[in-house]
Amino acid sequence: MPESPIKLYAFATSPFVQKVAAVMDYKKIPYTPVFVHPQKKGEIQFSQKKQVPIIDDNGTIVEDSTDIALYLDKRTPEPGIVPADAAAREKVLAIEQWFDEVFAGKFYVACRFGPPANRKRTVQAFVDTSPFNALERIGLPLLSGYLLREVIRSATENWEHAGEQLDELERKLGNGPFLAEQPQPTIADFAVFASLSVITDLQLEGAGMIRERKRIVEWMDRLRPLTSDGTRLYS
């Protein structure tokens, strides 16, 4: 039986979903996003964790963006996203973990929910892509300030220090050409690039802060032709 495209259970705005999409685009693996209702989550009822991304590869379910990327690398080994050398692999995975645990929250989520203009567009992206009913479509934008108050509070606080996260990224880029001084892009590059490209390509507030850092711009220019741009899940 011919294989179907991978189902990618998603929120359009999730940094972890963006990472997986950028990896699939690099590997030229066909996929179909399935947007999940953020409260009801009926589409991912089968999951215990109930967090996106989740993929369904013709019946094989994989959860967690790092595990998904590593699964995809085994499924479709070329082009590879993890170095063969053990020490290099460790460095790459450590940077990818830094993305998951620090950068995704303190820079990307801070950017999407910190500046009020971005916040409005983030909520709108949810409304445009999520399987909401008519009432939810009207109600969510009106109630978002209340429903998301905790996210907004910490994003606003983190956004004040967002430049420090970009400084740290510049340090990690070193002399390149890719993260962990790898000659080819890895899972770490796609993780960070996927989120930054959303900010620059959708021209969110914060794009200027990225563009004024030469080292980051040059690195993004190296990645850009290899994978999709920041409109990959939502334009």
Ligand X SMILES: N[C@@H](CCC(=O)N[C@@H](CS)C(=O)NCC(=O)O)C(=O)O
Q: Which is nearer to ligand X, 44 or 169 (CB)?
A: 44
Q: How far is the CB of 77 from ligand X (least distance, A)?
A: 22
122 sits near ligand X (criterion: CB under 6 A): no
Nearest to 62 by CA among 109, 108, 29, 13: 29
100 sits near ligand X (criterion: CB under 6 A): yes
Q: Which is nearer to ligand X, 41 or 222 (CB)?
A: 41
Taken in order 1, 80, 48, 122, the sign of the CA dihedral is: negative
Report the 10 Å Cβ neighbour count for 10.
Answer: 27
14 sits near ligand X (criterion: CB under 6 A): yes
Nearest to 216 by CA among 199, 231, 235: 199
Count of positions on this chain that bind ligand X (CB under 6 A): 11
Instruction: Pick from 18, 22, 33, 65 the residue near ligand X by CB under 6 A.
Output: 65
Q: How far is the CB of 55 from ligand X (least distance, A)?
A: 11
Site for ligand X, residues 45 to 64, rule: CB under 6 A: 50-53, 64
Pair type for strands 54-57 and 60-63: antiparallel
Nearest to 99 by CA among 18, 160, 206: 18
Rounded Cα distance between 193 and 216, Å, is 10
Instruction: Pick from 34, 43, 66, 168 the residue near ligand X by CB under 6 A.
Output: 66
129 sits near ligand X (criterion: CB under 6 A): no
43 sits near ligand X (criterion: CB under 6 A): no
Q: How far is the CB of 198 from ligand X (least distance, A)?
A: 12
Pair type for strands 54-57 and 6-10: antiparallel
Q: Which residues bind ligand X (CB under 6 A)?
A: 11, 14, 16, 50-53, 64-66, 100
